[in-house]
Amino acid sequence: MSQGTETHHFRRLITIWVVLAVALDLVFYFAVGPHVPPGKMTSSASGAQFDFTVLFLIALPVMVAVWVYWAYALIVWRGSRAGAMEPEGGPKARGHLGIQVGWIATTTVIVLGVFIFGTLELIVPAGAGGGEGPTPIWTPTSHDVLPVQVIGQQWAWTYRYPTFGGFESRQLMLPVDTTVEFHVTSLDVIHSFWAYQLGVKADANPSQDNIAFTTTEQLGQFTVRCSELCGLWHGAMYNFGRVVSKAQFFVWAQSTQRQSAVNTKLLPPFSYTYVPDANGADGGLYPDNVDPYSKVQQYGATSPSK
Amino acid sequence: MALDMRESIGADFSGDTAPPGPRVRRLPKWLGPHLGRALVGAVGGYALGHFLGNSIASGYENVQGNGQNDVATVLALSIGVVGWLVGAGMLDYPVAKIFGREPLPPTPSKSWTRYFGPALDHKIIGLQYTVVVLLFFFTGGLLAMAIRTELLSPTNHLLGPGTYISVVSEHGTIMMMMASSIVIGPLGNWLVPLMIGSRRMAFPRVESFSLWIFAAGYLVILTALPLGGFPTGWTGYAPLQTQATAGMDAYLVGFAVIGIGMICAGFNLLATIINYRAPGMTWDRVPIFVWSVLATGALLTLATPTLVAAGLFGVLDRTAQTAFYVNEHGGSSFLWENLFWFFGHPEVYIMALPGFGIVAEIMPVFTRKPLFGYRIAAAGMIGVSLLSFFVWQHHLFQSGINPDMRPLFMLTTELISIPTGFIFLNTMGTLWKAKIRYEVPMLFALAMSFNFLIGGISGVFLSDVPVDVTVHGGFFVLAHFHYTIMGGLVFAFFGGLYFWLPKMTGKTMSERLGKWHFWTMFIFFNFTFFPLFLVGLLGQPRRVFEYAQNLQTLNDISSVSAFCLGASFIIFVVNFVWSMFIDPKPASRNPWNSRGLEWQTPMPVPPYNFTRIPVVLADPYHYGQADAREVADLGPRTLALTGAVASEAPSAVGSHETTGEEGSGDPRPPIA
């Protein structure tokens, strides 16, 4: 075998590679693809699922190419085998212009392709569920946006609904088929708001309003975890949220707004960021509303949108 | 070769001639600089610093009511490090120079005690580094076992959240500190002068200093545990850093101390490679490992100062109540994130590049072929080191940075996979129609390539911002960087150790135990970290002590494999101790039949490496060529040296023992 010509080896390698790569890609696409996390609960979740699948379909043939080559080389050209050829030294073994240029060209094309794909997938779905900072530049086209403020503090998540009188809840309820605008901020250290099934992640920074968008598409329960180390109980900083129908959401939001009106009065007035009273004695909070991102937010303050 | 090399013989540091000027009284040996004195100095310095801190800032607490004076802690650790360095004799030379005195030359010593004191021979320092990085590595490894034990169950806790966070942070920090020098320290210092045909490093005293301050960093970071630990992980993010207790001071001082060591090691290697190459060692003949060290040295020198500065800001925030990282007072927590990762990402390549170098160095020897695409390998390493300065914000994709920066950093991050891919082209091209010998170093080199492929490809997923929304800050990242650092660098390091230890110590390692070590490490490494990719995709964030019930099976597979992975290093330790001390078998001069210049030197390598500065005639990769030239003209072997070579067989006690008995111990030819 080792006496074979170069074309002989090449042809055999390419055949094995094509067969394996196509087979594995098909298996992945049909068997694994639909189950790739984080699911399809929101636009950003299914976007992440689609991107992961596409990247994996590209990565798999690359990995298979390298593995097939290694396996072939390690078996065919092992030195202990009887009659193993003395390898060929000299300038020919030191580099082959065509192969090197081809390698660089191929990797460059793949990398640029992956970059263009990733950028489109980031810009078109309005930031793909990632935190865009206080001044987002890729925003959803919908004018029917529900703003929700996510407040991280050691070691709990709370949520304020500014279009419902700014009440604060420990439950994250979202209406289905709605674009949600998360305003993520923190009262103490850096946390990271990771709504796993929603495909949303944005760091909660003190004194900063970090905005992320997503559109809910399926009903169900989701987990919110903190994914940035925030101290002692970081591992226990999680709770659950639900995506419910629009009607259910309005019933919940309006009743909660009524029930917690007494408490809402005691809270600092709604603001996109809060400053802990570091110098005061009572450890209170002040609004720190410095020129926030101002999109039209008229999400059904009084009535459900149809 | 009629070159007159007498002028380039280099500075005399053997101390066998008395310095000019008045004779100076020498301290008795037990009072001279050595490890014991360094420890006494460290303890004394710690006590002095603590006293000073309590005197100048009596009653100051960064965290109210916790009884820890942070000024005292910072001063205690800093002055403790100075005491350690004084004890190790690191300041003797500069202090003597400041006072206009001619410094004492180090006492020439042939006994084993020279491994416990300051040395100027890069080979002794390389072995000292080996021991220190292994100490680092095994300490961090034990902490990893503790982490995996805690994660055996999602709800039953062995450590509790406080201890767990301290253990996680300590593990991460120790491993990162270790990994910054794991190859550069032991193999870089030991091999680079030999590979480029130099008699020494450019700055031998700085080299020794970098070792001793690196070891001091180990002690400083260990003090974090008795001080109460720190809760921030190795990244030390700022508001949490500001509110942490005194263990945080150990982290900040420790990283600054390690950072100084890294800068010193880096520019020393740079200066050596650029200026101390032997005649004929042109840039296209420099071994590829030296290219990787050159690229790494540049990163160490240019990236680490940012870390030291960032750490200083943190120390000031915690002691002098400045507000660099305090948002409410005009600082910014983003400042730390950016400064830290501006160092932190080049640091990642500080850890990857020397591994590439080792693999590219090992492959040609065991395939008996020249390295495929030498120039492209060198270009790849330089390309990686340049690009690595322009990718740091990919750690901050979801942090709320300016959003239009993200496509740019996605592009640079993905571009870096092109030069990284060159190393795969090199190894694959070298394997083409080769004659592959499966010996232990080669197995490690192949395993490094296998692991790094998985680590590298998973990095592309992380660089893609939409996918990063899911995988950022979870176990996917953790699995990714364990595949690149542990699977890449650490595998390459152990491959390098099995490859070069016979040269470094003059003793052969057991091949059977080596293969056992390899297979257990390789299999259990993959069983430990591959499930963690899935765990991360299924939604487990990093650094948590509680996780979802449905992830227990995957976590348990990982934990049990991690214990076996830990056990595989026992095989290495047994192999090391057995072959070095209990039943040493002398190694031959060039057991792998390599063409590298370092293998052409006599065994054991004499204190000055080369009788005469060699004249390099060819690059070291002319395998498979009958008419290949000698790699270098080493000059006539002097009688003293021939004697040393002949007597290598019975020498089983120490590596450099024999040279002292043959001739004068100085292999240089007399200068006419």
All structural domains of chain B: 53-582 (1.20.210.10)
Whether the Cβ atoms of residue B467 and residue A129 lie closer than 8 Å to each other? no
> What residue of A is the nearest CA neighbor of B534?
A37
- C-alpha B352/C-alpha B350 separation (Å) is 6
- Model confidence, pTM: 0.88
Mutation choice for B interface testing from A8, A68, A157, A190 by most B CBs within 10 A: A190
Q: Which residues from chain B sit within 8 angstroms of residue A88, using beta carbons?
A: 369, 433, 624
pLDDT at A198: 92
Q: Is the per-residue pLDDT at A301 higher than 70?
A: no
Q: Is the pLDDT reported for residue B663 higher than 50? A: no
CB B469 within 8 A of CB A132: no
Task: Work out the minimum CA distance from B426 to partner chain A, whole angstroms.
Answer: 9
Q: Would you kindly state where each structural domain of chain A is located, as residue ranges?
A: 6-76+97-124, 145-276
Residue in B664, B508, B649 with CA at minimum distance from that of residue B591: B508
Q: How far is A31 from chain B (nearest CA, A)?
A: 16
Give the pLDDT band (50/70/90) at residue A98: confident
Closest Cβ–Cβ partner in B161, B400, B450 for A133 = B400
> Nearest C-alpha of chain B: how many angstroms from A306?
30
**Mean pLDDT, residues A276-288:** 58
Assess contact for B527 and B561: CB atoms under 8 A: yes
Distance from CA of B555 to the nearest CA of A (A): 15
Under the banding of pLDDT at 50, 70 and 90, the label for residue A255 is very high
Name the pLDDT band for B5 (thresholds 50, 70, 90): very low
Chain B residues whose CB is inside 8 A of the A185 CB are none
Q: How far apart are CA A149 and CA A137, in angstroms?
A: 19
Residue B134 pLDDT level (bands cut at 50, 70, 90): very high
pLDDT score at B617:
86
Q: Is B328 on the interface with A (CB under 8 A)?
A: yes
Q: Within 10 A of A216 (CB to CB), how many other CB atoms are there?
A: 25
Tell me the average pLDDT of chain B: 85
pLDDT digits (tens, 9 = 90+) for B87-99: 988 888 888 888 8
Contact flag B461-A55 (C-beta cutoff 8 Å) = yes
**Once rounded to an integer, what is the mean pLDDT over residues A119-140?**
86
Q: Quick one: closest CA in B to A10, which residue?
A: B432
Interface of B with A in 68-127 (CB under 8 A): none
Averaged pLDDT for residues A253-258? 92
Out of B398, B543, B548, name the one closest to residue A234 (CB). B543
B16: pLDDT strictly greater than 50: no
pLDDT at B220: 94
Percent of chain A with pLDDT over 70: 86
List, in sequence order, the alpha helices (H) in B182-237.
189-195, 204-223
Q: How would residue A284 be classed by pLDDT, with cut points 50, 70 and 90?
A: low
The distance of B302 to chain A (nearest Cα, Å) reads: 27
Say what the ipTM of the complex is.
0.88
Report helix, strand or coil for B515.
Answer: helix
| Contact status of B370 with chain A (Cβ, < 8 Å) | yes
Q: Which of B27-41, B238-252, B549-563 has the lowest mean pLDDT?
A: B27-41
Nearest CA in chain A to B235: A229
- 3-class DSSP state of B176: helix
For residues B293-314, give the mean pLDDT: 93
pLDDT (0 to 100) of residue B637? 55
- Asked whether the predicted pLDDT for residue B554 surpasses 90, the reply is yes
In this complex, is the C-beta atom of B165 within 8 Å of any C-beta atom belonging to chain A? yes
pLDDT at B108 over 50: yes
Share of chain B above pLDDT 70, in %: 90
What mean pLDDT is predicted for residues B588-604? 86
Q: How many CA atoms lie within 13 A of B130 on its CB side?
A: 23
Cis peptide before A38 (omega within 30 of 0): yes
**A82 → chain B, closest CA residue:** B435
Q: Tell if the CB–CB gap between B240 and A62 is shorter than 8 Å.
A: no
Task: Please say if the pLDDT value at position B365 is more than 70.
Answer: yes
Q: Do B438 and A127 touch (CB under 8 A)?
A: no
| Helix axis angle, B122-150 to B204-223, nearest 10° | 20
Please tell me the predicted confidence (pLDDT) of residue B658: 37
Q: Which fold has domain A145-276?
A: Immunoglobulin-like (2.60.40)
CA of B609, closest CA in chain A: separation in Å? 30
Question: Taking 90 as the threshold, does the pLDDT of residue A37 lie above it?
Answer: no
Q: What confidence tens digit (pLDDT) does each residue in B194-252 have? A: 999 898 899 999 999 999 999 999 999 999 999 988 999 899 998 899 888 889 999 99
Average pLDDT, chain A: 84
Q: What is the pLDDT of residue B7?
A: 42
Query: What pLDDT sits at residue B48?
Result: 95
How far apart (Å, rounded) are the C-alpha atoms in residues B114 and B110? 7
> Rounded mean pLDDT of B187-195?
92
Is there a contact between B228 and B142 (Cβ–Cβ < 8 Å)? no
Between these two residues, A96 and B261, which has the higher pLDDT value?
Answer: B261
Look at A63 and B327 and tell me if their CB atoms are within 8 Å.
Answer: no
Containing A229, the helix (H) or strand (E) segment is none
B622 in contact with A at a CB cutoff of 8 Å? yes
pLDDT score for B527? 95
What's the confidence (pLDDT) of residue B22?
53
| Nearest neighbour of B327 by CB, restricted to A52, A207, A232 | A207
